[in-house]
């Protein structure tokens, strides 16, 4: 039997027309950019975030691309909220093809001063929340669907700042990606991959003095600069679309070369 995506042209394989994508942490930063990129590639988009007041602007951008959009208040720490987000995609847009597990938080505290509640919160959002979302979506996804977990290079290499909770959660997310790919890719036809961004403009990196970031990148990234949203968007669309139909269980660094060190 000839696979439908095998007869597409190269550019057609990057299209997401007729598909529905869920993006968590979509109220700002990378998540908002991902939502806009998926809409530009042709997908209708379901936006999930705790800060619902910020979703209106993102939703307007998606609609301006000619795509349908649904906004749902979502705290990924709650499995029932994750299930409600997946159900909203089905009820209001009729299907669910792509999940972008982007919701994330971070701390930069020396390990001996990290409070238990802060460490737990980072792990609950970044790792447990990603699992609850993947679990809820995989239950209703059809073969050919794609899950993209947003990890970090700090799950692969050492950090120059004290970020034990963040690094541990992202390393765990990379392990989770491999295991879910093993479980679901063959049996359910759902590919599971991860992106590992380096340093991009976001609420997290905005808290770091610019000169410190510049010095670190000059020493550790061959491209010696921060990444741009469009560069990460392109990698996301690749993993979400049929362009990567024979790729599962991988973590793709988009980091200017940091992971070479």
* 228-253 pLDDT per residue, tens: 999 999 999 999 999 999 999 999 99
3-state secondary structure of 72: strand
Give residue 158's pLDDT.
85
Give residue 208's pLDDT.
60
216 catalytic? Reply is no
Give residue 1's pLDDT.
42
pTM: 0.93
Give residue 46's pLDDT.
98
3-state secondary structure of 31: helix
Largest Cα–Cα separation, the chain: 59
Which residues of the chain, if any, have pLDDT below 70? 1-5, 202-210
Query: Cα separation of 67 and 27, whole Å?
Result: 17
Q: How many beta carbons lie within 10 A of that of residue 150, not counting itself?
A: 25
Give residue 105's pLDDT.
94
> Active-site residue among 166, 199, 216, 246?
166
Give residue 117's pLDDT.
96
Contact 93, 46 (CB under 8 A): yes
Contact 22, 96 (CB under 8 A): yes
Give residue 260's pLDDT.
86
Contact 95, 20 (CB under 8 A): yes
Ordered domains of the chain (ranges, CATH) = 4-246 (3.40.50.720)
């Amino acid at each position: 039997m000839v696979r439908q995506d095998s007869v597409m042209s190269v550019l057609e394989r990057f299209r997401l027309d007729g598909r529905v994508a869920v993006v968590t942490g979509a109220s700002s930063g990378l998540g908002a950019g991902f939502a806009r990129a998926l809409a530009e590639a042709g997908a209708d988009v379901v936006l999930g975030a705790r800060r619902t007041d910020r979703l209106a602007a993102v939703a307007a951008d998606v609609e301006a691309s000619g795509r349908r959009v649904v906004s749902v208040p979502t705290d990924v720490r709650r499995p029932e909220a994750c299930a409600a987000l997946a159900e909203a995609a089905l009820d209001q847009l009729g299907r669910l093809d792509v999940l972008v597990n982007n919701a994330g938080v971070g701390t930069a505290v020396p390990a001996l001063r990290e409070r238990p509640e802060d460490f737990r919160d980072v792990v609950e959002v970044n790792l447990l929340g990603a699992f609850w979302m993947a679990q809820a979506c995989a239950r209703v996804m059809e073969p050919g669907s794609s899950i993209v977990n947003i990890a970090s290079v700090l799950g692969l290499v050492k950090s120059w700042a004290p970020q034990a909770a963040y690094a541990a959660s992202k390393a765990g997310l990379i392990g989770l990606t491999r295991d879910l790919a093993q479980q679901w890719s063959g049996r359910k036809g759902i590919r599971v991959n991860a992106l590992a961004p380096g340093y991009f403009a976001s609420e997290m990196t905005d808290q770091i003095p610019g000169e410190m970031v510049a010095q670190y990148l000059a020493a550790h990234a061959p491209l010696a600069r921060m990444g741009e949203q469009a560069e990460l968007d392109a990698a996301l669309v690749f993993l979400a679309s049929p362009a990567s139909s024979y790729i599962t269980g991988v973590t793709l660094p988009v980091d200017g070369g940091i992971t070479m060190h």
